[in-house]
Amino acid sequence: MKIEKRHLLNYSILIPYLILSVLGLIVIYSTTSVSLISSGLNPFKSVFNQGVFWIVSLAAIAFIYKLKLNFLKNGNVLRIALIVEMILLFIARFFTQTVNGAHGWIVLGPISFQPAEYLKVLIVWLLAFTFARKQKLIETYDYQALTKRKWIPRSWSDLKDWRVYSLVLIGMVVIQPDLGNAAIIVLTAVIMYSVSGVGYRWFSGLLTAIVTVSAAFLGLIAIVGVETMGKVPIFGYVAKRFSAFYNPFKDVTDSGHQLANSYYAMSNGGWFGLGLGNSIEKRGYLPESTTDFVFSIVMEELGVIGACLILALVFFLILRIFHVGIKAKNPFNSMMALGIGGMLLMQVFVNIGGISGLIPSTGVTFPFLSQGGNSLLVLSVAIGIVLNIDANEKRDAIYRAEEEQKEQRRRAKMISPTDDKIIPFNRQV
């Protein structure tokens, strides 16, 4: 029996995605229309641009959903994608102008894109591809199956190792410097490593090490001083973010300006908000109110209750993606879905942590709500992959159930395995 893929679509993932995308268009209009009108421009300009990317994203989801998953399991295709990503990151770092203190954007006429955004999905793809092929070794040797080679390449074959690709790509993001996306990629890689099949104690150890190193790093900066860190050429701009993290009200006109006004926005909103479109802080007080700090404006206009409902929808989407990964029988499918869910979760954590002062601000956008076509396109590609994985897993489950039923009928009625014709049961001895 042939099963049409369109009948296996997971609406518990698709519908939240569509709702969040539409909410994103509404929020973008609310946060950009005032400045556009004051500049004498069409108030729907930003919404139109985002809408174009959304249409492209829907087309990308449809294309990826129909794609055979064997395409993602092709090592040559993955290697080409990684090499192209390295080239784009190199161009972004050394041949582009700075945007918000970082060399992260490539501008081609009216189109601009950020290669680091695409690296999030590529890292998940790379690690899922690698770990899925090592399942038997991991079952036997635990973490040693992933660390048997040296981290420093000593031959041409070592240059093709997954760790070399990962370190080079993450390093290229760090030197832009784009610590926000680098943090998301590293945390996503930790999640991927943890679901690869190694003992849970190694995940606990990794998590403890990350927390300890982060705390020690923040403590060291507090002792040495942000001014000293600012003398390092690469991290001069980042030093301002750490200064705001320690005390945003110390310099509200410079380093602490964004975070202080983010606090004002959240305070203004209260429980029920000022009403959609009535934000005060978006009127020139809060920089990056359409991207990094868009959720502060959401809280100001919709209040704590409205913001919590949106967060609940985002977390529901993430949990449904995790559910696909947990149920998947194929190791690659499982780790791919879990990695994408982890990537989304880490992006939400880093963004909310930054606007609330829980962690230093990193310039990471909030999924679906922030203005930015590239971010929406990357997230849509990830959603398309998960929908494809879920449909394939459902179809394989149906085929397995049919085979099991056939086998049961064969045993009960002595059905021939070649032509499925019933063979009379001979009771004579």
User: Do residue 29 and residue 94 come from a single domain?
Assistant: no
User: Do residue 261 and residue 386 come from a single domain?
Assistant: yes
Report the C-alpha gap between 33 and 22 in whole angstroms: 16
pLDDT higher at 398 or 235 = 398
If one counts the domains in the chain, the total is 2
Q: What pLDDT is stored for residue 142 in this prediction?
A: 59
The last residue of one of the domains, among 207, 224, 241, is: 224
User: Do residue 336 and residue 396 come from a single domain?
Assistant: yes
User: Do residue 189 and residue 130 come from a single domain?
Assistant: yes
For residues 72, 75, 80, 82, the Cα torsion angle rounded to the nearest 10 degrees is 80
* Model pLDDT for residues 116-170, shown as the tens digit of each residue: 889 999 999 999 998 888 877 777 665 665 665 544 444 444 445 667 778 888 8
User: Do residue 57 and residue 100 come from a single domain?
Assistant: no
* Model pLDDT for residues 255-288, shown as the tens digit of each residue: 677 888 888 889 888 899 898 888 888 888 888 8
115 lies in some domain? yes
240 lies in some domain? no
Distance, CA of 209 to chain centre: 22
User: Do residue 29 and residue 1 come from a single domain?
Assistant: yes
91 lies in some domain? yes
425 lies in some domain? no
DSSP state of 191: H
User: Do residue 113 and residue 186 come from a single domain?
Assistant: yes
Q: Residue 276: phi, psi to the nearest 5?
A: -60, 125
Report the C-alpha gap between 426 and 422 in whole angstroms: 12
Report the C-alpha gap between 305 and 200 in whole angstroms: 36
For the chain, give me the number of helices (H) and strands (E)?
Answer: 14, 2
Give the H or E element holding residue 268: helix 257-269
Classify each residue of 198-225 as buried b or exposed e, where b means 16 or more C-beta atoms within 10 Å of its C-beta: beeeebeebeeeeeeeeeeeeeebeeee
User: Do residue 261 and residue 410 come from a single domain?
Assistant: yes
Q: What pLDDT is stored for residue 423 in this prediction?
A: 47
Among 166-180, 388-402, 412-426, the minimum mean pLDDT is found in 412-426
Q: Residue 99: phi, psi to the nearest 5?
A: -130, 115
At 402, the amino acid letter reads E
Q: Where are the beta strands (DSSP E) in 23-135?
A: 106-108, 111-113
By three-state DSSP, how is residue 277 classified? coil
184 lies in some domain? yes
User: Do residue 36 and residue 93 come from a single domain?
Assistant: no
Q: What pLDDT is stored for residue 424 in this prediction?
A: 47
User: Do residue 61 and residue 98 come from a single domain?
Assistant: no
Spell out the residues 6+ positions from residue 233 whose beta carbon is closer than 8 angstroms to its own. Answer: none
For 321-366, give the DSSP string: HHHHHHH-SSHHHHHHHHHHHHHHHHHHHHHHHHHHTSS----PPP
246 lies in some domain? no
Per the structure, the complete domain to which residue 148 belongs is given by 84-224
User: Do residue 294 and residue 359 come from a single domain?
Assistant: yes
Q: What pLDDT is stored for residue 360 in this prediction?
A: 79
Question: In this structure, how many other beta carbons lie within 10 angstroms of the beta carbon of residue 126?
Answer: 23
76 lies in some domain? no
User: Do residue 262 and residue 317 come from a single domain?
Assistant: yes
330 lies in some domain? yes
Mean pLDDT of 22-44: 90
Report the C-alpha gap between 402 and 107 in whole angstroms: 53
| pTM for the model | 0.85
Inter-residue contact 235 to 178 (CB < 8 Å) = no
